[in-house]
Amino acid sequence: MDYRPLGRTGVQVSQICLGTMMFGGKTDKPDSIRMIDYSLGEGVNFIDTADVYAGNESERIVGDALASDGKRQNVILATKFNFPQGEDINAKGLSRRHIIEACDASLKRLKTDWIDLYQMHRCNADVPIDESLRALDDLIRAGKVRYIGGSMFSGWKLVESLWVAKELGLNRLVSEQPAYHLLDRTVEREVIPASQSFGLAVIPWGPLCGGLLTGKYNRDQGSKDGRWQGGKDNFNREATERAWDVLDVLRDLAKEKSCSMSQLALAWLCAQPGVTAPIIGPRTYEQVEDNLGCVGVELSQEDFDRIDELVPPRAAVVRYYDEAAAVDFRPNQHRNLI
């Protein structure tokens, strides 16, 4: 396991981040804790969760798993906020009110005094970024949060947040968490260059395209309990004919490398310029074993060139990033002022 700087900070994180979206939902608590313990034993020191995962249960499980044997001290713990937390109209979003309340609630569930990386789980056009950054800065000054980041921020939104932080003398974002994988390289257009220019860590989520890059799906059939059915996933994202052609070649390449398709896709992503640590999201113990095995996969320049021919830089054969991004611009909002 290699370790890399978390953006411009002095913190070192493992090249693979353990994502916990499945914990407390499709993965029960005993298996979740077992997977966390295994990952820590394999050198992972970076864990990502969110208050919205499994109705808060993911955070509770992570908190319980790290509460014993001094594990919390050795883990860089990240969580996220934004999505609704109940029926209260104000229990969501990036307002000062919600940020402070969400942080206190996450701290209790995680059984910790501090969150290493607190991330805005999508940007929000309804709230000026200065309000959000001021609240997050207050949390840092209070010792509840160490660093802050974003998720699915466009390139211009990242630059706006950095500019506002500089103008107001606030703590800046240190990371961005975009959707990024071998079948959709959209973030290479602006998000990756912006992150590299301003020293932001890039922590990709969905590195296996919701399971499409695991090799368990074929053009005409796949796992009955998987996300992709009839060529579409549970968010209605579509696998194009070109995508299936790419998967056929990747399957052959994985055989040549004596690794799984998952390991091939993760190894490729780990090696991309600007990437800090892809977030794996295992559902089973076997999946976390397989995913962490990617650190032993070596790719040659010939391998990278071969993949670039299949999916060129900045291209996409599955529209994943665009479909996952929250709507942040409403052209009719101020039409009466034009």
Which sequence positions are flagged as catalytic? 53
In the block, tokens 């390991």 appear at 263
Question: In angstroms, rounded to a whole number, what is the distance separating the alpha carbons of residues 139 and 120?
Answer: 13
- Which stretch of DSSP H or E encloses residue 252? helix 241-257
How would you classify the pairing of strands 76-81 and 46-48? parallel
In three-state secondary structure terms, 232 is strand
Question: In angstroms, rounded to a whole number, what is the distance separating the alpha carbons of residues 202 and 177?
Answer: 6
Beta strands in the chain (DSSP E): 3-5, 12-14, 17-19, 46-48, 76-81, 115-121, 145-151, 173-177, 201-202, 279-280
The answer for 243, left when phi > 0, alpha when psi is -120 to 50, beta otherwise, is alpha
Question: In angstroms, rounded to a whole number, what is the distance separating the alpha carbons of residues 24 and 32?
Answer: 8
